[in-house]
Amino acid sequence: MRSDILRVYKTVHTWTGIVAGLLLFIAFYAGAITMFKDSLSDWTTPPTVAASPSVPLERADVLIDRTLDAYPAARKLFTLSLVGDDRVRLSWQSAPGQRWDAWLDDAGQLRSAQSRPSDAARFIDVLHMTAGVPGGYDVGMGVMGVVSLLYGLALVSGVIVLLPTLIKDLFALRIGKNLKRMWLDAHNVIGILSLPFHLVMALSVVAFGLGDYIFNVQDKVIYERALQPMMLAQNPFFAQAPVAKNAASEPAPTMLPPAQLLAKVHERAPRFEPTALRYRRAGQPGATVFVAGDDARYLARDGGFALMDPFSGKFLNAQFLPGEGNGNNWSASTSAFYALHFGSYGGAPVRWGYFLLGLAGAFLFYSGNLLWIESRRKALRRDGIAVTQRRSTFVMASLTVGVALGCICGISLTLLAGKLLAGRVDDLHAWHIGIYYTVFVASIVWAMLRGAARASVELLALATVSTVAIPLASVIGALVPSSGLWFSADAGPLGVDIGAALGALCFAWMWRKTRQRVVAGRVDSVWSLRATQRSGQAEHEAADTGESVTKEAQEPQETKTAEQVAIDTQPGR
C-alpha cells in the first residue's frame, strides 16, 4: 500500500480516536460495570426493603384491587414482580427516589411501606449510555451517536493502517524498556482481536443515538409528518389498548387475574420465563400490561417482552416476544441488535465476556491517548540539555488522567454512597449525581493543576481507597450492625464485594508502578516528576543566556522505504 495513503488513514485514525477516546472510555468502563447492574441494585438495597413480604400468585388480583383502592396514584404505573415459588411483590414510585411496597398480611389486610432505595445501578447505566454529557438523556445520546460515528472511522482506519504488518505484529507483545513499543503492541492486539465486538458497539450506538434525529428528518422531508405518529403507535412502550367510544359512560371492566395473563403468555411462548408485569393506567380505559421476561434460546431485546390488554388478555404487541420475531425480519433483526449491544443473552458467560471486553475497550482508548502523547514527545538532546514538551502534550496527558481516573473514582464513590446514605437522605438520586460529577470535575481540575505525573499517582491512590471502601462497608455492616450498614451473603451482593476488592488490588498495583515510573522514568517524558524540575531549570538558564532551549537540532531526513513508512504509520508511532 502506498505510503501517502497510509499516512492519510493514520491521521484519520489518530484524530478520530483522540476526539472520541475520552468519552468512549467513560462509556466502556461504566458499560462493563452495568453488566451486573442487578447485583449492584441488590448490593445497595437495605435488607428491610429487599425482604418486603410477598403474596401467592393466586391472590395477586386481590392485592392489586385493594392497593388501587387505597392508593389511586399507583394506577399510573406499578410493577408486579414475580419471585420464587409462584409469589409476587407489588411496588410503585410515588415520586422520584421514593418507592412504595404493598402486601397482604395473614388476616388479608393491606399493608404498605415506603422506602428510598438507591438507583446507583441505573445512574451508572445512564452514564454508560450518555458518557455523562450534560444536557439530559436525549442530548447525551445524540452526542454519543456522533462520537460513535468517529469511533467507527477510527476502527476502519486503524485496521487499514495495521494491514501491512498485521501478520508480524498481531500477537507480538514486546515487553521491555521501550514502553511505547509495548503500549502499541497491546493496543493493536486488543483492537484487532475485539474488532467484531467494537463494530457492533459502534453501529448500534449510532442507531440508538441518532435514530430519533434521522426519523425526525424523514418525518418532515419524506413522510410529511406522518411517520412519527405511526412509529409511536407501533412502539410497545407507548401503545394503549383500544378504547370504545362509549367507554366513559360505562363502568370500567374487570382486569383479568395475573395468573390468567401469565397462562396466555405461557401458551404462546412455553419456554419464555416472565419476571415482572408492569401495569400502566390500571383499571382505566386504554390500560396495558407489559410482561417482561427472558428466554435464553433467543437474541431478544431487553430479554424479551410482550404487551397485553389486561381486560381481555389480548396481545397488543408480541413482536419482541422471543420466538415471535422470527416471522418478522424487522423485529428479529431489531431484537438481535439490542441483544448484541447489551449482552442480554447467553446468561453469566456472556455477561462476564462483555464485562472483560468492556474493560479491554476502556484500555484501548486510554492506551490510544498515551500513544498520541508519546509520539509527540521531544527527545532529550544528545548533550543532555532538557527539553520543554509542547503544551498540547501536557494538556492531553492531564486531561487523560483526569477523565479516566475521575470516572473510576466517581463511579466507586457514588456506588458506595448507595449503601452509606440509604435511609439517611430524602433524594438519594440527587446525591448520586452530585457525588459523581463533583469527583469527576474535581479530578480533571486537579490533574490540570498538578500535572499528569503527580496527579496520576494521587488519583490512583484515590481510586484504590474509594474502590476498597465498597467491600469495607459490607465488612463493617457484618461486624457492626448498629452502624446502619449491612452485609449480604447472596451471590449478587457478595460478587460486588469480591469484584471491588479485586479492582482495588489492581488499582493499588497500578499506583505502585506509576509511582516508580514518575520518580525513575525518562526526564523527557510528561510522566516524569524530574521532567518538570529540569524543564524549569532549563527555562531559567535560557533566560540567563538569552537562548531558547526548546529549539530542536535540525538533522537531515533520511529516505525511508515503503515498509518503513508502513511501520511508522501504525497507530501511535
Q: Given this model, what pLDDT does residue 210 score?
A: 83
Which position has the higher pLDDT, 28 or 159?
28
With CA atoms as reference, report the closest residue to 357 among 198, 509, 205.
198
What are the CB-based long-range contacts (under 8 Å, 24+) for 378-381? 378/524, 378/550, 378/552, 379/524, 380/522, 380/523, 380/524, 381/552, 381/553
Q: Given this model, what pLDDT does residue 256 score?
A: 93
Q: Given this model, what pLDDT does residue 336 score?
A: 74
Please give the Cα distance from 358 to 184 (Å, whole number): 19
- Is the model's pLDDT at 6 over the cut of 50? yes
DSSP string, 304-353: -EEEE-TTT--EEE-TTSTTGGGG-HHHHHHHHHHHHHHT-SSSHHHHHH
340-357 burial by CB neighbour count: b if 16+ within 10 A, else e? bbbbbbeeeeebeebbeb
Q: Given this model, what pLDDT does residue 549 score?
A: 37
Please give the Cα distance from 421 to 424 (Å, whole number): 5
391-424 burial by CB neighbour count: b if 16+ within 10 A, else e? eebbebbbbbbbbbbbbbbbbbbbbbbbbbbbee
Please give the Cα distance from 337 to 559 (Å, whole number): 49
104-113, 164-173, 214-223: range with highest mean pLDDT: 104-113
384 three-class SS: coil
Please give the Cα distance from 79 to 69 (Å, whole number): 16
Which position has the higher pLDDT, 227 or 108?
108
For residue 280, the number of C-alpha atoms closer than 13 Å in the C-beta half-sphere is 14
Helix residue spans in 34-136 (DSSP H):
37-43, 47-50, 60-70, 120-130
* Cβ 368 vs Cβ 161: under 8 Å: no
Q: What is the pLDDT of residues 430-443, one digit of tens each?
A: 999 999 999 999 99
Q: Given this model, what pLDDT does residue 323 score?
A: 66
- Is the model's pLDDT at 155 over the cut of 60? yes
Which cell goes with 564?
A: 518503513
571 three-class SS: coil
* Cβ 415 vs Cβ 45: under 8 Å: no
Please give the Cα distance from 161 to 5 (Å, whole number): 9
User: Cell 414482580 appears where?
Assistant: 81
DSSP string, 186-216: HHHHHHHHTHHHHHHHHHHHHHHHHHHHHHH
Report the 10 Å Cβ neighbour count for 72: 10
Please give the Cα distance from 338 to 306 (Å, whole number): 16
- Is the model's pLDDT at 289 over the cut of 90? yes
Residues sharing a CB contact under 8 Å with residue 480, sequence separation 6 or more, in sequence order? none
* Residue range 395-418: mean pLDDT, rounded: 94
Which cell goes with 427?
A: 433524594
Please give the Cα distance from 235 to 238 (Å, whole number): 6
Q: Are strands 87-95 and 98-104 parallel, antiparallel or unpaired?
A: antiparallel
Report the 10 Å Cβ neighbour count for 149: 18
For residue 353, the number of C-alpha atoms closer than 13 Å in the C-beta half-sphere is 13
- Is the model's pLDDT at 252 over the cut of 90? no
Q: pLDDT category, 300, cuts 50, 70, 90?
A: low
- DSSP-derived secondary structure letter, 102: E
* Burial class of residue 510, CB neighbours in 10 A (0-12, 13-18, 19+): middle
Which position has the higher pLDDT, 24 or 557?
24
Backbone angles phi, psi at 300, to 5 degrees: -125, 145
Q: What is the pLDDT of residues 490-526, one digit of tens each?
A: 899 999 999 999 999 999 999 998 898 888 766 666 7
**What average pLDDT does the chain have?**
81
Q: Which helix (H) or strand (E) holds 110?
A: strand 110-115
With CA atoms as reference, report the closest residue to 93 among 111, 69, 129, 119.
119
Residues sharing a CB contact under 8 Å with residue 498, sequence separation 6 or more, in sequence order? 471
* Residue range 477-494: mean pLDDT, rounded: 91
Q: Given this model, what pLDDT does residue 386 score?
A: 59
With CA atoms as reference, report the closest residue to 524 among 549, 543, 489, 494.
549
Q: Which helix (H) or strand (E) holds 144?
A: helix 137-162
Q: What is the pLDDT of residues 389-406, one digit of tens each?
A: 678 788 888 999 999 999
* Cβ 436 vs Cβ 406: under 8 Å: no
Helix residue spans in 254-298 (DSSP H):
258-268
- DSSP-derived secondary structure letter, 560: -
With CA atoms as reference, report the closest residue to 84 among 51, 54, 43, 45.
54
Q: Given this model, what pLDDT does residue 280 score?
A: 93
- Is the model's pLDDT at 294 over the cut of 90? no
User: Cell 491512590 appears where?
Assistant: 461
Q: Which helix (H) or strand (E) holds 534?
A: helix 529-545
- Is the model's pLDDT at 242 over the cut of 70? no
- Is the model's pLDDT at 247 over the cut of 60? no
Count of residues for the chain?
573
Backbone angles phi, psi at 170, to 5 degrees: -60, -50
With CA atoms as reference, report the closest residue to 14 among 529, 425, 572.
572
* Cβ 189 vs Cβ 171: under 8 Å: yes
Q: pLDDT category, 7, cuts 50, 70, 90?
A: confident
Specify the range with the lowest mean pLDDT, choosing from 29-38, 199-208, 564-573: 564-573
Q: pLDDT category, 75, cuts 50, 70, 90?
A: very high
Q: What is the pLDDT of residues 310-327, one digit of tens each?
A: 999 999 888 778 765 444
Q: Where are the domains of the chain?
A: 1-46+117-236+327-358, 47-116, 379-549
Report the 10 Å Cβ neighbour count for 426: 10
Helix (H) and strand (E) counts in the chain: 19, 9
Q: What is the pLDDT of residues 363-377, one digit of tens each?
A: 888 888 887 887 776
Please give the Cα distance from 117 to 339 (Å, whole number): 28
Q: pLDDT category, 536, cuts 50, 70, 90?
A: very low
Helix residue spans in 384-490 (DSSP H):
391-420, 428-450, 452-479
Q: What is the pLDDT of residues 184-239, one digit of tens each?
A: 777 777 887 888 888 889 888 888 888 778 877 877 777 767 666 666 655 555 55
Which position has the higher pLDDT, 535 or 492?
492
